[in-house]
Amino acid sequence: MSVSARTDSWNGPFLGVAALVAAFIAGSGATMPAVVASHFDAAGGANGTMPRAVYVALMLIIGVGLPVLIAFRTSAAVGRPGARINLPNREYWLGPERREATIARLRTGIRQFSAMLMVFLGYAHGLVVHANRQTPPRLPAVAMIAGLVGLGVATILWWRGFARGFRRSD
């Protein structure tokens, strides 16, 4: 199996995450009140609302559409001949004998990070759904902070693994 075939096979899990997050947003969004508390202050109190349909559409666009668009546009961009790719030891990693594997690794990393972002945005949406089940709506600030910290830690771990893949062994 060629490197590009392995990278293309990663599209399935990535699109699976996108489909799951989209289904979660659409399904749970349908259970929300007609007017959704959609913006919250630092203490978790609601200070902005919007119609449910607008909120759900916006969450689908931001939470799924944007990460998918970024992943596929960036993946396409790095594969173009003459793409400006900034890597340590660029000449080594983009040499003819390693270019295909390097592009595959970049594409996989892009999709992994985008999937992580979608999961976090789905989590944030879940907190908004939970907040709207209370009167008055209140976002659990500790859970939101925990989610942000979790995303930060996951990003650091992802970056360490991603960057480690571009170390030279010689």
What SS3 state is found at 145? helix
State the helix-helix crossing angle for 99-131 and 11-29, rounded to 10 degrees.
10
Distance, first Cα to last Cα, the chain: 26
Please state, in angstroms and as integers, the Cα–Cα distance from residue 99 to each residue in 4, 79, 151, following that order: 11, 9, 30
Looking up tokens 């790095």 gives 78
Total structural domains within the chain: 1
Q: What tens digit of pLDDT does each residue of 13-36 get? A: 999 999 999 999 999 999 999 999
Whether 117 is covered by a domain: the verdict is yes
Residue 169 domain-assigned (yes or no): no
Instruction: Tell me which H or E stretch contains 165.
Output: none
Per-residue confidence band for 6, with pLDDT thresholds at 50, 70 and 90: very low
Beta-carbon count within 10 A of 4 CB: 14
The alpha carbon dihedral of 89, 90, 94, 95 has a sign of: negative
Q: Which of 38-52, 69-83, 143-157 has the lowest mean pLDDT?
A: 69-83
Q: Is residue 67 situated within a structural domain?
A: yes
Residue 170 lies in a domain: no
Residue 52 lies in a domain: yes
pTM of the predicted structure, to 2 decimals: 0.88
pLDDT on residue 8 = 55
Residues 6+ apart with CB under 8 A from 26: 56, 60
User: pLDDT grade, residue 3 (50/70/90)?
Assistant: very low
Q: How confident is the model at residue 82 (pLDDT cuts 50, 70, 90)?
A: confident
Distance CA 4, CA 1 (A): 8
What would the DSSP string read from start to end of 67-124? HHHHHHHHHHHHHSTT-----TTHHHHTSTTTHHHHHHHHHHHHHHHHHHHHHHHHHH
Q: Which domain holds residue 108?
A: 3-164
Question: What pLDDT does 168 receive?
Answer: 76
CA distance 27 to 56: 9
How confident is the model at residue 18, as a pLDDT? Answer: 97
